[in-house]
Chain A
Amino acid sequence: MGCPCALHLEADSVAHAEHALAAVRAEVARLEAKYSHYREDSLLARLADAAGTPVAVDAETANLLDFAATLHAQSDGRFDITAGRLTRLWDAQNGRLPTAEEIARALATTGWHRLEWRRPRLRLAPGMRLDLGGIVKEYAADRAAELCRAAGVVAGVVDLGGDLALIGPHRDGTPWRVGIKAPRAPERAAARIELPRGGLATSGDYERTLIVAGRRYSHIVDPRTGRPVAGFASVSVVADSCLIAGAAATLAMLLGVAEGGAYLRELGLPHLCIDDRGRMSGDLVFAA
């Protein structure tokens, strides 16, 4: 998944733990191969190649598309998985700023309205590329936690680059103490909270960040302007699943400080927002 991943388990035996670990490895590798933004043999790459013709997708992809459709509606069009060409332009791996012409060309192939989605048939507009950033890593964390539970391991945490899915509380029933990443120093925790179950996800401008001449350009791009959003440095959300936490955090990043804050309060999910000057807001501030 292109990020440091960790699995913390409490199991009855090493055999149990290894069984669960193998299942998690296989699942994360499967999802990475299927939905990676970078790999040229992924399902997303094949869908991009088939752009212009309708393709029947599998049930898992259909469920992800339905979820993305809800996020698109809820963010007033700002969460848009069709922005794959745009997010590639702003990716750190490019090492340079895109030109206005490149942005205009990418914008021409971006937009949920240009995509035809009628389960199970998907038709991308010619040149369009999907980017499931903000939901697929979080979904993988939830899937991994579910597989651990299915393998009989009920206490543990799946950590995919700071996005956490709880398998379950410690075996004595106490919650796990988990850290919320600090945007400018991801190796350090901005806050620590106790979590027995559910998920914690952080969306921030520190991942896949393009830095040119000392300026940071977030990989979170507003599909209406084609430019990275300015606002929060990071948003962390706690929810029933890592998927919901990640979606809420990404939407809040896209909506910006005022609207994003209002959205998180309306959702009623515990959250911590950090702006570009390091100022914190949200109901998890006490944990900092």
Chain B
Amino acid sequence: MRPESRARRLWLVLAAALLGGCAATPVAPWERGRLARWDMGWDPDPLQAAMDRHSHFSKEGTSGEIGAAGGGCGCN
């Protein structure tokens, strides 16, 4: 399978997950204990995440993240 078609299939799966979520029953605040866990954060360890992104950003031709982008660097 060519990577493009593999990618297309993945996005279909993700889109289905999103649409399925809209129909989900509302989750009450007191049922959100698990969602509030440290390991359920988008970036549980922001320090580590910043360094990971920096290594990948300096090697790769494209980048992008959810959040305000940081400043430039001579590495790229």
Q: Do chains A and B touch in the complex (CB under 8 A)?
A: yes
Which chain A residues have a beta carbon within 8 Å of chain B's beta carbons? 73-74, 76, 259, 262-263, 265-267
Q: CA A237 – CA B34 in complex, angstroms?
A: 23
Count, A-B residue pairs, CB within 8 A:
19
Q: Which residues of A contact B71 (CB under 8 A)?
A: none
Q: Which residues of B contact A76 (CB under 8 A)?
A: 26, 28
Q: CA A265 – CA B28 in complex, angstroms?
A: 13
Q: Which residues of A contact B28 (CB under 8 A)?
A: 74, 76, 259, 263
Q: CA A263 – CA B26 in complex, angstroms?
A: 15
Q: Which residues of A contact B33 (CB under 8 A)?
A: 266
Q: Give the secondary structure class of B's interface.
A: loop
B31 on the interface (CB 8 Å rule)? Answer: yes
Q: Which residues of B contact A262 (CB under 8 A)?
A: 30-31
Residue of B nearest to A263 (CB): B30
Residue of B nearest to A252 (CB): B30
The 6 closest A-B pairs by CB, nearest first: A266-B30, A263-B30, A266-B33, A74-B29, A76-B28, A262-B30
B42 to chain A, nearest CB (A): 22
Q: Which residues of A contact B59 (CB under 8 A)?
A: none
B37 on the interface (CB 8 Å rule)? Answer: no
B32 to chain A, nearest CB (A): 7
Residue pairs across A and B with Cβ atoms less than 8 A apart, 16 shown, are: A73-B29, A74-B28, A74-B29, A74-B30, A76-B28, A259-B30, A262-B30, A262-B31, A263-B28, A265-B30, A266-B29, A266-B30, A266-B31, A266-B32, A266-B33, A267-B30
Interface centre among B26, B28, B29, B30 (most CB of A within 10 A): B30
Q: CA A279 – CA B24 in complex, angstroms?
A: 35
Q: CA A171 – CA B33 in complex, angstroms?
A: 38
Q: CA A73 – CA B27 in complex, angstroms?
A: 12
Q: Which residues of A contact B26 (CB under 8 A)?
A: 76
Q: CA A267 – CA B26 in complex, angstroms?
A: 18
Q: CA A263 – CA B27 in complex, angstroms?
A: 12
Q: CA A76 – CA B29 in complex, angstroms?
A: 9
Residue of A nearest to B36 (CB): A266
Q: Which residues of B contact A263 (CB under 8 A)?
A: 28, 30
Q: CA A74 – CA B30 in complex, angstroms?
A: 8
A156 to chain B, nearest CB (A): 33
